[in-house]
Amino acid sequence: MTQNLLTTQYPRSVVELDGTTYFLMRAADGRKRLAILGDARGFEGQEAAADRGFPVLCPLTPSNAVALRERLPWLRPQPLGLRRTAGCGDRLGLATPGHVRAVRHFDLVPVFAQQSVRENTRAGRTPQGVLDDAMWGVFQEGWRDPWGADADHLKTTADIDSFVTLGYSFYTVDPGAYVDNEAHSAPLGALERKWDALPWAGLADAPEAMRARYLGQHLNAEMVHLEFEPTSLMRAACKYGGAIHHVAYMYRHLDARMGSQPYEFEVSIDETETPTSPLEHWFLASELKRLGVRWVSLAPRYIGRFEKGTDYIGDLRTFEAEFAQHAAIARALGPYKLSLHSGSDKFSIYPLAARQAGPLVHLKTAGTSYLEALRAIAAVDPAFFREILAFARPHYETDRATYHVSAELARVPGPEDLTDANLATVLDQFDGREVLHVTFGSVLDRFGPRLKDVLARNEEAYYAALEAHFIKHLTPFAGNLR
C-alpha cells in the first residue's frame, strides 16, 4: 500500500473520538474505504498499517458497518417520534449524501434508509445492504443528528424477520391484501354475508358488541362530526376487518421480536383500490387502538390518484377538505402522523398537507431519487441515457403490472427524437417519467453495474441533482432554507 492510493478524502466524514480518527476515502481504484488512524481493532480487511504513518484502510463491508456503528452511535438509526419526518428511498444505494445535503437546509427529521421488500427484490438488494448504504452516506456527509431506517411495506411475518436483527427503527406494515374492496359498494345482501364471515374471534369481538360501540354514537374530532348508521358500519367493518386483524397479528409478532429494543410502527392502507373515507379512518384507528396496536403514522388511501413519480391527479379543493378531516381524526385519536405514500413529486398537495397536518406528517419518497440519477446520467453520458430509454420503453407494459400508473407509451419520445441538450426533458414529461420510474428493475437487471459506475465517477453531479430536487420537495413542509 502506497500513499498515492489515498486519492480523495471526504472532509465532512472526519471524526476524532477517544484518540482515534475515522474518515472516508476514495482510493485510486475508485472504491470507497473507511480510514482509521488509531485503534482499528475489530475491523476486517485492513490494507495498511498505521505504524507506517498511513491510516488503516478497511472495505465498506457489513461487518465494518456494524463495527463503526458500535464506535459512533449517531450512525445507528433510531425512533423519531412525532416530529415532522421525510423518508428518502434509495434504489441504488448511492443517494444518501445528496439527501443529507438537502435535509440540512430544513427543520425536519430524515429517514435515510427506506426500501420495500418489493423494491429490494427488483433492485437486487437486501435489508442489510439498504441500511449499510444509508449509513455510509450519513458518515460521508458528517450527519450527526437523529435519522431513521424504514422496513417498508411489510406484508408477512417473514418480511418482518428479515429486518428485526439489523437495527431498523421503523416498520411499515401493509395489509392491503386483506382489504375487501368489494365491500365499498357491495349490495346489502352481499354485505351482510361478508359481515357474518368476519374473523370475529381474531378481532376479539362480536357483532352485537361492535354495533353497541358505534351505532348511536356522536363522534367528534375538532370540527369534524361523524356518525355510523348500520350500513356504513357494516361497510367499514367488512372493508377493513381483515386488514385490522392482520395488522394486529403483525404488530404482536414484531413487538415480541423487538423485545426491549425501541421501534416505531406505521400502518399503510394506501395501495388499495378504493379511498379511505374519514368515517372508515375513524373505524380503523379505533379498532386498532382497541386491539392494543400503537403506531406513529398511518397512510390512508386518499382520494384522487397518487401515481409514481408524478404530481397528484385530482381536484385539489376536494383533497384538502378531506385531508383536513383525516388530520383532525389523527389528532383526536392519536396523535399520530398522516403518511403520504407514493409521495414523490406531489408538489401541488404539499402545501395543503402541511397546512392541515402541521408537523404531524410523514412524506415518503422512493423512485424520484432513481429518476434524478437518470437526469445526472443524461448530463454526463448522453449515449448511455439513450440506451436506457430505448431499453425501458418496450419493458413498460410488463413492469407496470404491480403499479397504479396511467402513462401511455405512445406519448414517450424515443431516443432518436431527442437531442443531447434536451434528453432530460423526457424526465419532466408525465408519460416519460412514469415509464422510466416503473421500469427501474428491468433497467438495473440489464445495466446495474454500469449505471452505478457512471454515477460513482460523477457523484457530485448526482448529489447536486438530488439536493435541488429534494429542496423542492421539503420546502412546503419545513419552511425557508437555513
Residues 420-479 pLDDT 10s: 999 999 999 999 999 999 999 999 999 999 999 999 999 999 999 999 999 999 999 987
Q: 179 is written with which cell numbers?
A: 382489504
Task: Taking residues 176-195, report their average pLDDT.
Answer: 97
Dist CA 114 CA 352 (whole Å): 25
The pLDDT of residue 228 is above 90: yes
Judged by DSSP in three states, 473 sits in helix
Which pLDDT score is estimated for 179?
98
Task: Taking residues 135-149, report their average pLDDT.
Answer: 98
CATH topology of domain 74-180+217-367: TIM Barrel (3.20.20)
Find all residues with CB under 8 Å of 149, minimum gap 6, and list them. Answer: 77, 111, 112, 113, 114, 130, 131, 134, 167, 168, 169, 170
Dist CA 91 CA 335 (whole Å): 31
Conformational region of residue 325, where left means phi above 0, alpha means psi within -120 to 50, and beta covers everything else: alpha
Q: pTM of the predicted model, to two decimals?
A: 0.96
Residue with cell 452516506: 137
The pLDDT of residue 3 is above 50: no
Q: What's the DSSP call for residue 177?
A: G
Dist CA 98 CA 160 (whole Å): 28
DSSP secondary structure, 147-174, as one string: -EEEEEEE-SHHHHHHHHTTT--EEEE-
CB 96 within 8 A of CB 133: yes
Q: Is the peptide bond before 335 cis (omega within 30 degrees of 0)?
A: yes
Q: What is the pLDDT of residues 32-73, one digit of tens each?
A: 999 999 999 999 998 865 456 689 999 999 999 999 999 999
Dist CA 342 CA 346 (whole Å): 8
Average pLDDT, the chain: 95
- Which class for 318: exposed (0-12), middle (13-18), buried (19 or more C-beta within 10 A)? exposed
Dist CA 263 CA 149 (whole Å): 10
Structural domain spans, the chain: 3-61, 74-180+217-367, 377-471
CB atoms under 10 Å from CB of 323, counted, come to: 24
Per DSSP bridges, beta strands 264-268 and 170-173 are parallel
Dist CA 101 CA 113 (whole Å): 15
Task: Taking residues 170-185, report their average pLDDT.
Answer: 97
Q: What is the pLDDT of residues 99-117, one digit of tens each?
A: 999 999 999 999 999 999 9
Q: What is the pLDDT of residues 245-270, one digit of tens each?
A: 999 999 999 999 999 999 999 999 99
Which pLDDT score is estimated for 8?
85
Among 346, 342, 361, 334, which Cα is nearest to 114's? 342
Dist CA 481 CA 475 (whole Å): 7
Dist CA 299 CA 296 (whole Å): 11
Cα-based torsion angle of the residue sequence 103, 108, 110, 115 in order, rounded to the nearest 10 degrees:
-110
Dist CA 110 CA 96 (whole Å): 10
Among 467, 391, 476, 383, which Cα is nearest to 436's? 391
Of the ranges 43-47, 203-207, 209-213, which one carries the lowest mean pLDDT score? 43-47
CB 338 within 8 A of CB 296: no
Say how many residues make up the chain: 482
Dist CA 178 CA 480 (whole Å): 41
Dist CA 246 CA 203 (whole Å): 9
- The catalytic site residues sit at 152, 266
The CA angle 88-90-91, to the nearest 5 degrees, is 150
CB burial of 78-117 (b: ≥16 within 10 Å; e: otherwise) equals bebeeebbbbbbbbbbbbbbbbbbbbbbbebbbbbbbbbb
Among 443, 355, 362, which Cα is nearest to 398's? 443
Which pLDDT score is estimated for 2?
38
